[in-house]
Structure 1
Amino acid sequence: MSDTPTPGKPANQLTGVALVLLQFALIAVIAWRAGPSFLALQASVLAWVVLAAGVALGGWALAANRPGNFNIRPVPKAGGQLVRSGPYAWIRHPMYSAILLMGLSGVYGVDIPGRMLVGTAFFALLAVLWIKAGLEERWMAAQHPAYADYQKASSKFIPWLV
């Protein structure tokens, strides 16, 4: 049996799909519970600032990584290019960081009774994205020889920290 990462194996494909489904389910829980506070303009200023930071980071990441070069599943696209510009110069997974910022805004934006549910969903989302990023990094390293150097020069989610 080979230790070479093989994202195309059916089990790995299934794992990627399961992680994406979990990711979207957790985002839905956060949006379902926190969304009304934002729509009613009752979310805190901090919640709005964190949401704006997440949207801005997500937009910047999409601008730096051309459509068709990335995949919603942790499986690298065949022929995909390693992007090291824009937020990717500091963060290997800025789209995941953007999702986490938007999720965190839900924790800050929801009323006290809903905070436990949204906080739990947020930490579960963090765990799912951490696992997803780990799989993606193994498979990116197999596809892009320069990825190991990129990992040393950048952070997974938060520049200079994680």
Structure 2
Amino acid sequence: MTLSKIFAAGALALAIAGCSTPTPETYAKQSPSLDITRYFNGTLDAHGMFQDRSGEVIKRFVVVMRCQWNGDTGVLDEDFVYSDGTRQKRVWTLTKTGPGTFTATAADVVGTARGTVSGNALRWQYVLALPVDGKVINMDMDDWMFLIDDKVMLNRTAMSKFGVNLGSVTLSFSKRPATGVAPQ
């Protein structure tokens, strides 16, 4: 093998390695450790924005989430209010399927979302049926959540169709104090 072929093979291997994406296990040693049955329990407030693929902010929104668990099943009841005044409701039903693994369904999710928790990270992958200009488009969602502390979680979702990036959603979740406990 010639030196140029060795160099080309090495460059190709580096390019492929550089394109790999992290997995939840990448964050296994990160803390604080995320327990979604504990974090998504009670009431949370979220603030977010949707950006198109150029980075332009298309919509901003706030969400109130009421969450509760019964054994291995959780319900996340979300009420959205968008910057243009529109409102939306989404109710997720989450099921713990094993150590660090979950599934979830909602009325506008096509099929079942699959989630994996490791360390401080949660990754959801699912297809969301989004209304756009009078049509419904099934969008691939790659949703990453990172626990910052016991009150704050950050979320970044990449949206794509046929592998083409169409935009992203960025959210900040804040857990409200339990009823009867004054905020600090």
TM-score normalised by length of structure 2? 0.30
Higher alpha-carbon Rg? 2
More strand by share: 2
TM-score normalised by length of structure 1? 0.33
Higher relative contact order (CA 8 A, sep 6+): 1
More helix by share: 1
